[in-house]
C-alpha cells in the first residue's frame, strides 16, 4: 500500500456514496445493518487463517476473538472466489472500459484487490442504499456491472423487482451479479429464516429465493436478456482442485453434510443485457 492509506486511495480513485435517511436508519433496519458487521468479521477471520489473501480488510474490520466454524469459512471462501471470478470475467471482456456499481458494499475491499491486479474499471462506485444509484448514475451509458451480495433479499419482491427493472432500463450494456439465499422452502431454509428473525432481521424478499429457477425468472421478467444461476455447492465443486485442497488442509471439518446444506441454500446469479459485441452473454462460471 506504500504511503497511501486505503481511504486516501479510495477518495482519489473511486466514488463512494452513502445515504442514511430518517426512514432507513430507524430500528427496523438495525438487524439488516448488523449483517454487514457479521459478514465483515467472518471474512476477516477467514483471511486471518489463510483462506484467501486480502491485505486491506484489516484496515476496516477488527479481528474477532471468536473462532468461526469451518463450514462458515469455506462458505465465505466460495462466495468471495465466485463473485471475484465473475467480476474479472466482465472486466476482461470489456477491457476495463466499464464501471462497477457495488450495492450494499459494506466493508468490501474489491476495489483495492482489483487495483493490485491492474483490473480497475473506468469508474467504481460503492453505495449503501439502492436509491443513491439514481442520483449518481442516471445518465451513464458505459458498460456497467452491478453487484448485490445479500442485498435484494432484504427488500420486498416489489422493491427488488423495481431495482432490477430500473437497472435493465437504465443501461444499454450491463451485467448484474447477485449472491443470496436459495432453496428456502425446505426445513433447513425455514431454520435459517427463524434464526434471523430472532435477531430482528427479517428476509422481506425470501419468497423470490425458492429455487434457482425463481432467481433466474426474476431477472428475466424485469428486463434482463440472459440469466444464469448456480448454487454454492455446485460452484464449490467447480473450484480449482489445488485451491480446494489447500483450504481444506487449513482446518478439519468433520461434518461435510452441514457444509453441503449451507452451500445448497446460497446461490450466485448473473444476468446480462446487450453487449453482444463484447461477448457478455458468453460469461459463465
Going by the annotation, the residues of the binding site for S-adenosyl-L-methionine are 79, 104, 149
Asked if residues 113 and 90 have their Cβ atoms less than 8 Å apart, the reply is no
C-alpha cell, 74: 469455506
- Angular region, 201: left φ>0, alpha ψ -120 to 50, beta rest: beta
**β-bridge pairing 174-181 and 123-127:** unpaired
* DSSP H stretches of helix in the chain: 6-13, 30-48, 70-93, 110-116, 131-137, 157-170, 187-198, 212-220, 232-238, 241-248, 256-263
| 3-class DSSP state of 145 | strand
d(CA 151, CA 133): 14
| 3-class DSSP state of 155 | coil
d(CA 49, CA 261): 23
CB neighbourhood size of 34 (10 A) = 13
d(CA 82, CA 177): 10
C-alpha cell, 171: 443501461
Binding residues: 79, 104, 149
Asked if residues 268 and 187 have their Cβ atoms less than 8 Å apart, the reply is no
Amino acid at each position: 500500500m506504500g504511503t497511501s492509506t486505503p481511504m486516501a486511495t479510495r477518495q482519489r480513485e473511486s466514488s463512494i456514496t452513502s445515504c442514511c435517511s430518517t426512514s432507513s436508519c430507524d430500528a427496523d433496519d438495525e438487524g439488516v445493518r448488523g449483517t454487514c458487521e457479521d459478514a465483515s468479521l467472518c471474512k476477516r477471520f477467514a483471511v486471518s487463517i489463510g483462506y484467501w489473501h486480502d491485505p486491506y480488510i484489516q484496515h476496516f474490520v477488527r479481528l474477532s476473538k471468536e473462532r468461526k466454524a469451518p463450514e462458515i469459512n469455506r462458505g465465505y471462501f466460495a462466495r468471495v472466489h465466485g463473485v471475484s471470478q465473475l467480476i474479472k470475467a466482465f472486466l476482461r471482456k470489456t477491457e476495463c472500459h466499464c464501471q462497477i456499481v457495488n450495492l450494499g458494499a459494506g466493508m468490501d475491499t474489491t476495489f483495492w484487490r482489483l487495483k493490485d491486479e491492474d483490473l480497475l474499471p473506468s469508474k467504481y462506485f460503492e453505495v449503501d442504499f439502492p436509491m443513491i444509484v439514481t442520483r449518481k448514475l442516471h445518465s451513464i451509458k458505459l458498460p456497467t456491472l452491478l453487484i448485490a451480495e445479500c442485498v435484494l433479499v432484504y427488500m420486498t419482491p416489489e422493491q427488488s423487482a423495481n431495482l432490477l427493472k430500473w437497472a435493465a432500463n437504465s443501461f444499454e450494456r450491463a451485467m448484474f451479479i447477485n449472491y443470496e439465499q436459495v432453496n428456502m422452502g425446505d426445513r433447513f431454509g425455514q431454520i435459517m429464516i427463524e434464526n434471523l428473525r430472532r435477531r430482528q432481521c427479517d428476509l422481506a424478499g425470501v419468497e423470490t429465493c425458492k429455487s434457482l429457477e425463481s432467481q433466474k425468472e426474476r431477472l428475466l421478467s424485469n428486463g434482463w436478456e440472459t440469466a444464469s444461476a448456480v448454487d454454492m455447492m455446485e460452484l464449490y465443486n467447480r473450484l480449482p482442485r489445488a485451491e480446494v485442497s489447500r483450504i481444506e488442509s487449513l482446518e478439519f471439518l468433520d461434518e461435510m453434510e452441514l457444509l453441503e446444506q449451507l452451500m445448497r441454500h446460497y446461490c450466485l446469479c448473473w444476468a446480462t443485457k446487450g453487449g453482444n459485441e463484447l461477448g457478455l452473454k458468453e460469461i459463465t462460471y
